[in-house]
Amino acid sequence: MKFCTVKQYFDDENNNNVTNGIATTVIPLPNKHLKIKANNKEMEQYEQELLRNVMPQELTKLILAANYLNFKEALDFFCRTVANAIQNKSVDYVRKFFGLESDFEPGEEEKLCKEFAWSFEGVDED
Amino acid sequence: MEDTVFAKLSDDVVLNIFFKLEDDPRNWARVACVSTKFSSLIRNVCWRNKCTTTIPSVVSDLLSSATAAFPPGGWASLHKLAVCCPGLLHSGVLLENSDFGLERELGPDEAFRNSLTFNNNNTDTNTNNTPQTHEASSSSNSCSWSLYDDLYFDTVYDVPGSTEGTMNPVDVVENSNSVGVGVGVVKRRKICRSTRSHLASGVWNLSREQGSKLLARQFRDDCLYICDWPGCVHNIEGKRNYMLFRGIFKNFKRSRVWRTINDGNRSRVDLNCAFCECKKTWDLHSAFCLRRVFGFHDDGEPVVRAYVCENGHVSGAWTDWPLYT
């Protein structure tokens, strides 16, 4: 069953892993899946609309929620969305997206840029 | 704070995202530059996994003889070898080589070498003024004139004045060879791309069969994996087609090629490996490791050349006449 964790969630009053806002987004997903399962395109549109205005940090929370709820399809979908958002983007863009700072040693990053110079061609503009 | 939320993502979730990017090898390479954690995940999980699934026989051969749990040069090197063409520079095409192998047969001409050293000292002072010419400068150090210079000037003269967008000025300086800056923006980008290593065209696979065709008969017991034929094809204007290839020796330090190079005390060329950090490589052609039957073209250029580094990575080029001659 997809929702073994959901029961636990509802039982557990003091749950920090899934805020209410996120739950309202994630939990209706499987019903929606079933309703329009036959029509993949409609599902795609629904998903695109759902995520159009979602900021990266929201997306991260959605991933955490789906992971906690053990909801594989939603997790897969959110991860795919992140992947689509960062594919073919520059290193700086990916850093900003995840809210990360570079933690390399001073000379290390330059070495990496040399090592992977071949991958910096054809990158989308930030 | 975003990063605290992100930090909660477990490694397997992060890898779930990464594996959705595996179709284009450039994605993983860029992600590996983001942070130390990403770099570690990409190297130790993603690239290892990719190599193990796409070239399993190569991986098992390399690991069976390795002292560590990864192949020589690491998983990053092996993966790059599988998907990247070394480019004209690292396959030695830009080195001055058109002497019918006379230097190989008769030994070096000391007077000529001394005059080269004098010229290089002059050009070196110029290269110091340009930042980051890490790859370009290694080819200019080996001879006073090289095919690289010819390519550069040809491109600058031939291009009519480009209007197709602007190149990042940092890129222009990086790839200049200290002899002035031209305006051939689009053409230069094309040449520079094929000079440095880049994603190879064609299937990304390594096979032993190709390698055995390359080596001279006495090395038939050595195991050399080479990419599928014809590899990445480059054409230099006014010259021939170059089919660039790359490969790796199984257990290089135990191979007969290595014994030949080492025992013969062969000197290395100032040509760094495209796939690992080795700064110098050995010329397999002048060490008589390649089949002699390949021979030379009329202008003295060898039909095939190959360079090997200490980790056993091989970069090289076959040549062919263009069809219209």
Alpha helices in chain A (DSSP H): 4-11, 20-26, 29-35, 40-52, 56-68, 72-86, 91-98, 106-115
A126 contacts in chain B (CB < 8 Å)? none
- The arithmetic mean of pLDDT across residues B256-279, rounded, is 91
- Write out pLDDT tens, residues A37-81: 445 666 667 666 666 666 667 778 788 888 888 888 888 888 888
Same domain membership, residue A71 and residue A23: yes
Average pLDDT of every residue of chain A: 73
Same domain membership, residue A96 and residue A73: no
Please answer yes or no on whether B27 and A88 come within 8 Å at the CB atom.
yes
A104 contacts in chain B (CB < 8 Å)? 35-36, 39
Same domain membership, residue A102 and residue A67: no
Same domain membership, residue A69 and residue A14: yes
Choose the weakest-confidence range: A16-20, B6-10, B13-17, B236-240.
A16-20
B150-153 long-range contacts (CB < 8 A, ≥24 apart) are: B151/B94, B151/B191, B151/B195, B151/B236, B151/B237, B152/B177, B152/B179, B152/B182, B152/B191
Please answer yes or no on whether B134 and A114 come within 8 Å at the CB atom.
yes
More confidently predicted of B293 and B115: B293
- Write out pLDDT tens, residues B199-239: 888 778 898 888 888 999 999 899 999 998 777 888 877 77
Tokens for B145, please give them: 């004139």
Same domain membership, residue A117 and residue A67: no
Q: Provide the number of structural domains found in chain A.
A: 2
Same domain membership, residue A105 and residue A121: yes
Please answer yes or no on whether B196 and A83 come within 8 Å at the CB atom.
no
Chain B closest-CA separation from residue A30 CA (Å): 20
- The arithmetic mean of pLDDT across residues B235-262, rounded, is 89
Q: Is B95 on the interface with A (CB under 8 A)?
A: no
Tokens 């006495």 belong to B218
Q: Is B13 on the interface with A (CB under 8 A)?
A: yes
CB contact at 8 A, B84 and B198: yes
pLDDT bucket at B144, cuts 50 / 70 / 90: very low
| Confidence check: pLDDT of B172 > 50 | no
Same domain membership, residue A95 and residue A47: no
- Write out pLDDT tens, residues A70-123: 888 888 888 888 898 888 999 999 988 888 888 899 889 899 988 899 998 878
DSSP string across B197-235: -EEPSS---EEHHHHHHHB-GGGTTS-EEEEPTT-EEEE
A-B contacts at Cβ under 8 angstroms: 108
Same domain membership, residue A12 and residue A56: yes
Question: How far apart, in whole angstroms, are the C-alpha atoms of residue B96 and residue B82?
Answer: 27
Which of A70, A119, A120 is most worth mutating to test chain B (most B CB atoms within 10 A of its CB)?
A119
Tokens for B123, please give them: 């050009």
Residue from the list B1, B21, B26 with its beta carbon closest to the beta carbon of A83 = B21
Residue from the list B27, B35, B197 with its beta carbon closest to the beta carbon of A118 = B197
Q: Which one, of B257, B300, B315, B311, lies nearest residue B76 by Cα?
A: B311
Chain B closest-CA separation from residue A118 CA (Å): 5
| Confidence check: pLDDT of B133 > 60 | no
B206 strand-pairing partners: B227
- Write out pLDDT tens, residues B54-92: 999 999 999 987 777 888 889 999 999 999 999 988 988
Domain that holds residue A98: 88-126
Q: What is the pTM of this model?
A: 0.72
Same domain membership, residue A111 and residue A73: no
pLDDT bucket at B47, cuts 50 / 70 / 90: very high
Same domain membership, residue A120 and residue A73: no
- The whole-number pLDDT of residue A22 equals 59
pLDDT bucket at B175, cuts 50 / 70 / 90: very low
Average pLDDT of every residue of chain B: 74
CATH number, position A21 = 3.30.710.10
- The whole-number pLDDT of residue A125 equals 73
Same domain membership, residue A118 and residue A70: no
B196 contacts in chain A (CB < 8 Å)? 117-118
Same domain membership, residue A55 and residue A117: no
